[in-house]
Structure 1
Amino acid sequence: MPLPIDLILIRHGQSEGNAAKRRSEKGDNSAYALLGGRHTRSFRLSEKGRGQAAQAGKWLKEEFTHGDNVPIFDRYITSEYVRAMETSALLDLPDATWFRNFYLTERDWGDLELCPDDERSEKYGKAMRMRNTEPFFWKPPNGESFAELCLRLDRVLFTLHRECSEMKVVIVCHGEVMRAFRVLIERMSQQKFKQIHNSKKTENRVNNCEILHYSRRNPQTGEISTHTDWMKQSRPANYPFWTTGWKKIYRPKYSNDDLMEIVKMSPSVLE
C-alpha cells in the first residue's frame, strides 16, 4: 500500500528548551538552571511558541478547508512530548481527534540535552567535531544516532502505509524527526544528508511550526501517483511568509561506477 495521498508534517512551536538554547548562544545560561531536573519530554511552549502554533493553525485552515464543516484531515497524530501536544491543541483544527505516538518523540541527545553551548565545547568538543564529519551515524554521548532515529520512524511509516494510504494525514512532531522523514521518504543518501546538515541555507533549516507537505497528487494535473512524488516546505509562522513551492522528488539510483565514485571519497589507508 502507498503512503497517504497527503502527508503534512509540522514542527512544534518554540519550546522552553528552544528558548533556553537561544539565550545560551548569546552567553546567558540562566534558563538552563530553571529547566534543570526536568526531562525534555515535559517542556512547554514559550509565549512565542504558542503564537506560532496559533498562526500555523490559521494557515492550515485556510490552506485545507474548502467551505464545508467536515474535519480538514482524515487522521491527526502527535508526538507524546508535551510541546508537540500543546502545539497540536493550539492549532485549533476543527473536530480533530488526535492519536498519540511515542515513536514520534524527538531524537535523544543524551548528555547534551540540557548542556549549555560553552560546556558543549569544553566537555564534548571532540564529539561535536565528529558530528560534522559523520552526522548520520554520529551518536551523542548516551544518546541516539540519526540512523537509530530513522529506524524507529520506519514503524510510523509502516502504519501509514497499512492504515492511511487513501487519507490526508497531519503529524505534529520535531525538527530532527522531520529531517528523518525526509531521509526515509526521499531515500536521501548519507552524502546529501551531510550537505544539508552542514549547510547554512535557510531552506535546509527546520523552523518552529514549519510545515512539510508530501503528496502523491501532481499539483499541476491533479493526477494521483502510487508514489509520493511531490513536496513543499512552508513557514506560516514566519514574517514574511516563506515557501519553496512544490518540488518534484527524484530518488537516486546508482550504477556500479556511481558506487565506486562514492567509495573513492573515503581514501584507503591500509593495503
Structure 2
Amino acid sequence: MTELAWLGVLRHGQSSGNVAAEAAEATGLDVIDIPERDADVPLSRLGQEQAEAVGRWFTDLARQDRPEVAVVSPYLRTRQTAELALADLAIPTVVDERLRDRELGVLDLLTSGGVTNRLPDEAVRRRRLGKFYYRPPGGESWADVLLRLRSLLRDLRTDHPDGRVLLVGHEAIVLLVRYLVESLSEADLMDVVRANTVANCSISVWRRDGAVLRPELFNHVEHLHAEGVPPTRQEDVRAEPV
C-alpha cells in the first residue's frame, strides 16, 4: 500500500464547551453547563479567530506544504473550524464520522470531581484500568477510538496514494493519530499526554521519508502567535485526568 506524502491533523478552535468545562472545573462543579449535545457545541468567538488564523497560515505555505484534501469530524465545532481554515484553499472536504470525538457515555458533562462524587465506582475502575483501556458505560475507550482511526487511515492510504491529507478533529484524535503513525506503545502515549495539552487550532504534521511518515510538527501554534491570536489549551468536554 502506498503511503501518504503528507498527513496533518488540526484540532478544532476553542469551543463554547471548552470554556464551560474550564469554568466548571475551576469552580469545583460536578456538572458542566452546556445546553447542546456534544456534537452540536459551536466555536467560541476566539475559536473562530483561531481558525481564521490557520487559514491565513495555510495560504502562505508553499503548494507542496498545503493539504490537497480534508477529512473532517462531523461535530459542529470541527466543521466550523474546517470551513474557516480552508475557505481560501478550494480543496475537497469530506465529513467522516470515524473522526468524531471519544464518546463518554455516563461520564458525559461530568467534571473530574463530578465523576468522583456521583460515580465513585467508575472513578475507581477508571484508575485501575487506566486512560487507554477504560471504557465508561455507554461510551468508548481510547482503544475503541483507535479501531476506527486505523480503518480511516487505511482507507486514506488507498484512496489518496502519495496525497497530502488534513484531518480536522479533536484533542484525542491528535494524540491517537500520533500513536498510530509513530507506532507508540501505551506507555509512550501516556508520556506524551502527561507532557502536552493539545492546543486549540494546533497543527501536527507527518511527512513521508522513504516508506514511512516522519514527525515534522506536533501541537504547533506559531501560526496563531504570528497572527496575534492567543492559543488556548483547554481540554475537550470530558472528565479525564491522566
The two structures have a TM-score, normalised by structure 2, of: 0.83
* Counterparts of 1:213 and 1:175, CA distance in 2: 15
Letter in 2 for 1:122: N
Q: For the structure 1 residues 186 and 131, does the alpha-carbon distance in structure 2 shift closer, same or farther, using more than 3 Å as the test? A: farther
Residue in structure 1 matched with residue 93 of structure 2 by the alignment: 98
User: Aligned ranges for residues 74-93 of structure 1 at < 5 Å?
Assistant: 74-91=68-85, 92-93=87-88
- Whether contact under 8 Å (1:65, 1:72) holds in the other structure is yes
Give yes or no for contact 2:30–2:115 (8 Å, CA) kept in 1. Answer: no
Matched, 1:208 2:190: no
Q: CA deviation at 1:145?
A: 0.3
What is the CA distance between 1:62 and its match in structure 2? 1.7
**2:133/2:142 contact within 8 Å kept:** yes
**1:150 equivalenced with 2:146 (yes/no):** yes
1:226 maps to a residue whose letter is A
Counterpart code for 2:9: L
Distance 1:195 1:124 in 2: 27
Q: Counterpart in 1 of 2:162? A: 166
Q: Is the 8 A contact 2:30 2:113 kept in 1?
A: no
Q: Is there any run of 5+ residues in structure 1 with no aligned partner, and where?
A: 218-224, 242-271
Q: In 1, distance between residues paired with 2:155 and 2:120?
A: 39
Output the amino acid matched with 2:67.
F
Distance (Å, rounded) in 2 between the aligned partners of 1:229 and 1:239 = 25
Partner residue in 2 for 1:244:
none
In the alignment, what sits opposite 1:226? 211
**2:105 equivalent to 1:110:** yes
Considering only CA atoms, is the larger Rg found in Structure 1 or Structure 2? 1
Alpha-carbon separation, structure 2, partners of 1:26 and 1:132: 22
Please state how far the C-alpha of 1:9 moved relative to its aligned partner.
0.6
Structure 2 SS opposite 1:196:
helix
Aligned CA distance change for structure 1 residues 132 and 118 (closer, same or farther; 3 Å): closer
Q: Name the SS of the counterpart of 1:228 in structure 2.
A: strand
Give 2:221's aligned amino acid: R
Determine the C-alpha separation between the residues in 1 that align with 2:224 and 2:125: 32
1:20/1:29 contact within 8 Å kept? no
CA-based RMSD of the aligned residues comes to: 2.5
Paired with 1:148 and 1:229, the residues of 2 have a C-alpha distance of 25
Q: Deviations over 1:206-229 (max 9, x none)?
A: 111110101114xxxxxxx11112
CA contact (8 A) 1:216 1:228 kept: yes
**How far has the Cα of 1:106 moved from its partner?**
0.5
Task: Give 1:120 shift.
Answer: 2.2
The letter of the residue matching 2:27 is: G
**Which residues of structure 2 form unaligned runs of 5+?**
228-242
TM-score of the superposition, structure 1-length normalised? Answer: 0.75
Question: 1:29, CA displacement in angstroms?
Answer: 5.3
The structural deviation recorded for 1:94 is 2.1
